[in-house]
């Protein structure tokens, strides 16, 4: 009788333990946040400064087996991870996941550089970082004298060579610009106002920079300036003032 009682009690204990293991409170369900992770399922692609990343970035909540946790409906927030140029991320950076997937359709970065990454975070989940991508400059819209004309003598080349650099609308150096830049005489500092600028006054840009190696002014004077333009368009920028002295 005693042996039979021990067998019954043992069986009841085993059944109770099995029930506990299969009850909701017995072990965390597969979709519990503690067992989920974030993953970039559509990585950020190369983009143009100030313009939306073409393919919408997607971040997905996954279980430990890599399957989409379709019950996850939390908020996912993106931020810049590696930021090589001090860029600013714009667009909708916090999105509520739908069926476990957060989609970011209007992200943009304002500074051109290589090697950006994004980081994704959600409450109670570990932060994850994207693959690296590049941001290239936008179309050239601005010019600047990056090597100003310096004091020279009448008829001699201005040295060092004058350089004019193209920039996009956000101030990024337009390294993809290879068009023609033209320089003309701005303020004529000659006594009679009839000085002539000679030399190669047009130059094709390389890496966004047009170099003018042999510019000359034929008369002495003070307060000369040069102007620069895209091709034959109206000048859009003027240099600092410089003087032309006697040989």
**20: in domain:** no
pLDDT at res. 75: 98
Give the Å distances, CA to CA, from 31 to 19, 27, 64, 68: 20, 11, 9, 10
Contact status, residue 46 vs residue 20, Cβ threshold 8 Å: no
* Residue 23, pLDDT above cutoff 50: no
Both 212 and 153 in one domain: the answer is yes
Q: How confident is the model at residue 247 (pLDDT cuts 50, 70, 90)?
A: confident
Both 183 and 144 in one domain: the answer is yes
* pLDDT tens digits for range 146-185: 999 999 999 999 999 999 999 999 999 999 999 999 999 9
Both 89 and 115 in one domain: the answer is yes
CA–CA separation, 117 and 131 (whole Å): 6
CA–CA separation, 182 and 172 (whole Å): 21
Strand order in the sheet with 47-48: 47-48, 133-136, 113-116
- Stated pTM of the model: 0.82
Question: 125 has which bridge partners?
Answer: 122
What CATH number does residue 38 fall under? Answer: 2.60.40.10
Both 103 and 172 in one domain: the answer is no
Of 136, 155, 183, the domain-final residue: 136
Which structural domain range is residue 64 located in? Answer: 33-136
């Amino acid at each position: 009788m005693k042996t039979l009682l021990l067998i019954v009690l043992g069986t009841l204990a085993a059944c109770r333990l099995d029930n506990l293991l299969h009850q909701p409170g017995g072990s965390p369900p597969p979709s519990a946040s503690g067992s989920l992770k974030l993953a970039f399922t559509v990585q950020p692609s190369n983009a143009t400064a100030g313009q939306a990343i073409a393919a919408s970035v997607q971040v997905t909540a996954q279980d430990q087996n890599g399957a989409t946790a379709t019950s996850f409906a939390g908020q996912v927030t993106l931020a810049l991870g590696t930021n090589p140029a001090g860029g600013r991320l714009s667009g909708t950076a916090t999105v509520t996941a739908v069926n476990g997937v957060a989609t970011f359709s209007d992200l943009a970065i304002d500074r051109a550089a290589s090697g950006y990454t994004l980081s994704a975070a959600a409450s109670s989940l570990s932060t994850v970082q994207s693959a690296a991508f590049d941001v290239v400059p936008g179309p050239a819209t601005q010019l600047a004298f990056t090597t100003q004309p310096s004091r020279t003598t009448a008829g001699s080349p201005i040295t060092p060579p004058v350089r004019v650099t193209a920039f996009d609308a956000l101030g990024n150096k337009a390294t993809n610009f290879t068009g023609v830049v033209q320089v003309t005489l701005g303020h004529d500092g000659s006594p009679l106002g009839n000085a002539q600028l000679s030399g190669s006054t047009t130059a094709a840009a390389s890496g966004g920079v047009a170099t003018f190696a042999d510019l000359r002014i034929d008369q002495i004077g003070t307060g000369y300036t040069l102007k620069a333009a895209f091709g034959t368009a109206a000048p859009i920028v003027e240099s600092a003032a410089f003087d032309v002295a006697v040989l």
